[in-house]
Structure 1
Amino acid sequence: MKELTIHSSKSDDIFTQLQTCIQGELREDWGESVLTFNNNYGKGTLRTIGFNWGVSLIDCDIFLNKEIRIVFDTQDLAPIEFIFITQGYFEYSENNTDSFTRLEQFQNTIISHKSDAKKTFLFPKNEHLRINFIRINRKEYLQKKNNNVSQLNQLLVSLFNDSKGEAAFKHGGSFSLRIADEIKLLNNVDATSGMLRSLSLEGRLYLILSLQLLEHKNFEENMNLPEAISKEDILKIHKLTTYILEHISDNISISTLSAESGLSPKKLQLGFKILYSKTVNEYVRQLKLEISKDYLKNSDLSVSEIVYAIGIKSRSYFSKIFFEAYDILPTDYRKHLKNKNSSLR
């Protein structure tokens, strides 16, 4: 096991100290700091981006050859950290003890440790890890106009107003594939540089943060996942989304998905409703429409060919549901895309 000690709670300082320890390459571009490494420690990429009002993002896509313990030993006021793991797991301890809490894939987690306590992250070896940390410096964030912190539940209001870091906070909440999907979009923002990229990243980040806050609210109000949906069921549903994408041109029925996943139709419907706020059919239809938009924008396929490619039998039905979703017909949408001055580009 390798142990690293970090003496700052600021994201940029953390990256500088990590670079010194693991001997990776640190570069900065358009307000983003990116640390890449491929050595005895393992390989991967870590990225941090700072935004206004004390909000920052750290995301990790790493594979470690050895177990790494990172100890944060600082007297700074700890940030509030909204953590979400889309692949793998890691463990957390507030006081650098051997008593760790395992943070699971797809689980919404919020933590903040006391100013006089050491925070420890234990990352496993031989595990592909994809982890997002949204970090909020509470003092800076409270200076933000219309921060609306007072509208949160009492637990989070107290946390944001704990200006001395006198209390520890840990929330291990429900599992959410909706948040996982939004993080995937965050990590695939296609604007290459400059203002467009910064605005896209910031918008996605705040959407993810709002979903994490909403999950906490629902959890505290006992609106979390029912016992009928287990973690294993969630993983099966997550795998189904890949199956749906790969078979988008087929007639995808609930019975087909039930056979593919081993979940009953009732459990499938319950799982999609909880995790995506949609029925199975609503989810499949939305995905077909999103793919059709991409075809209209980036291919020369005719509308009839697109209808066939996404597995819808009737062109008139496709036009109907496309209009219901986007308030424009597919043919008109493509015409607008060809106009460089159109706001729909």
Structure 2
Amino acid sequence: MKKTENDLVSVPSELNVLKEHLQGNITVDYDIHTLTLDSVIGKGQVRYTNLQSGLQSFDFDLKLIKDIEIPIASMTSESIQFLYCLEGHCSHQFETFEEATLVEQFQTAVVHSNRGLASKIIIKKGDHLMLNIICVNKKEYFDKFGKENNPFSKKLQGLLYEIGTKSKHFHLGGYSLKIAEQLKLLFGIEYSNEVSELLSQKGRYYLILAKHIEQFHSEIENNSNTSGLLKNELKAISQVSDFIKKYPEIQHSIKSLCLESGLSPAKLQEGFKFMFQRTVSDFVRNVRLEKAEKLIKTTELTISEVVYSVGLTSRSYFCKIFKKKYSYSPKEYKSK
């Protein structure tokens, strides 16, 4: 049940800082706090998720009618901020006399500044911005991994050393569709009262953080964009993958998808291998299987009807690939 701001015992201080710059009302649904904008400033919302002590996430989904500057350093002190722009663009600036750096769609950035140093996000009016910021408190979160001897903790410690020794740090990363795919499942979501679903959605933020750290290390070591694809090519891959997910029943081919995306066959395959670690045909097959699994769980369709609904024609072939992925035949899966 949603509670209004007047009903709340306490509002997270991080969200109160935002409210000083983005006028609106705060509601809470379980432990998800949402700041909904007043019409005098624009439309949209900012969702605040406290993942654990020292780890918070902010999802901005805004379209403003005036330019706004948000001081991210004061949102969470002594933290490292991982930025990802899913749609639109914004800018980051340390001091007012320094040049602002543009963060474009699908682009990552890593920001850190010591207490007292200005660090702000600049959002321009008129553009639809979908931005995720994961704030990681260095001491509370990273120290937990200090004694662990595994590849992930080593990457965390390496990142700490790279960033934490400087009074301020800004790393403009390359483009990443891997993070985009996770955020698409989080933006605009309505949490149900299922605790398992809430935990599953929160888990995606940890995946996003892991991908940020992986990309940051790769770019620091190689000093290069990890994708090798241009922004417009990444956008085309994202759009064509959404098209396949929306219409799995269509008989997709390399030729038709090239016409849909405007990409060459080589770029199309390169993009899917980078983004999904699959060929185009493997991706289409997997989308169909996931759609079929959902239909089997949530509808009364027969197996033959499910096969037809996802664009396949052979029931025996469908049963074979379904069992390979889910370890049960479609009939066994439905009965369970």
Moved over 6 A (4+): none
Q: C-alpha deviations, 1:28-73, integer Å up to 9, x for none?
A: 3322211102312101111112132301111111111111122357
Query: What is the CA-CA distance between 1:131 and the residue it aligns to?
Result: 1.0
1:87 aligns with 2:90: no
CA RMSD of aligned residues (A): 2.5
Distance 1:71 1:188 in 2: 24
Distance 1:191 1:174 in 2: 31
Distance 1:236 1:137 in 2: 35
Q: Which amino acid aligns with 1:174?
A: G
Q: How many residues align?
A: 322
The alignment's TM-score, normalised by the length of structure 2, stands at 0.87
The alignment's TM-score, normalised by the length of structure 1, stands at 0.85
Distance 1:157 1:124 in 2: 31
Distance 1:31 1:75 in 2: 18
- 1:41-56 to 2 correspondence within 5 Å? 41-56=41-56
Q: C-alpha deviations, 1:69-121, integer Å up to 9, x for none?
A: 22357598431111111111100011233511111111122111233420121
Distance 1:57 1:72 in 2: 12
CA gap of 1:54–1:301, structure 2 versus 1, over 3 A, is same
Counterpart for residue 28 of structure 1? 28
Query: What is the CA-CA distance between 1:174 and the residue it aligns to?
Result: 2.4
Query: What is the CA-CA distance between 1:171 and the residue it aligns to?
Result: 2.2
Distance 1:301 1:146 in 2: 52
Query: What is the CA-CA distance between 1:175 and the residue it aligns to?
Result: 1.6
Counterpart for residue 327 of structure 1? 327
Query: What is the CA-CA distance between 1:262 and the residue it aligns to?
Result: 1.6
Tell me the SS of whatever aligns to 1:152.
Answer: helix
Tell me the SS of whatever aligns to 1:27.
Answer: strand
CA gap of 1:267–1:145, structure 2 versus 1, over 3 A, is closer
Identity %: 31
Query: What is the CA-CA distance between 1:195 and the residue it aligns to?
Result: 3.8
Counterpart for residue 154 of structure 2? 151
Tell me the SS of whatever aligns to 1:186.
Answer: coil
CA gap of 1:304–1:75, structure 2 versus 1, over 3 A, is closer
Q: C-alpha deviations, 1:201-255, integer Å up to 9, x for none?
A: 332211111112122233234374464x211111111111222133311210111
Tell me the SS of whatever aligns to 2:43.
Answer: strand
Counterpart for residue 261 of structure 1? 261
Tell me the SS of whatever aligns to 2:250.
Answer: coil
Deviates more, 1:195-204 or 1:131-140: 195-204
Counterpart for residue 339 of structure 1? none
Distance 2:93 2:207 in 1: 28
- 1:1-345 to 2 correspondence within 5 Å? 12-71=12-71, 74=74, 77-97=77-97, 99-144=99-144, 148=148, 150-152=153-155, 155-159=158-162, 162=164, 166-187=166-187, 192-193=192-193, 195-222=195-222, 224-225=225-226, 227=228, 229-336=229-336
- Structure 1: gaps spanning 5 or more residues: 1-10, 337-345
Cα contact 2:227–2:274 (8 A) shared by 1: no
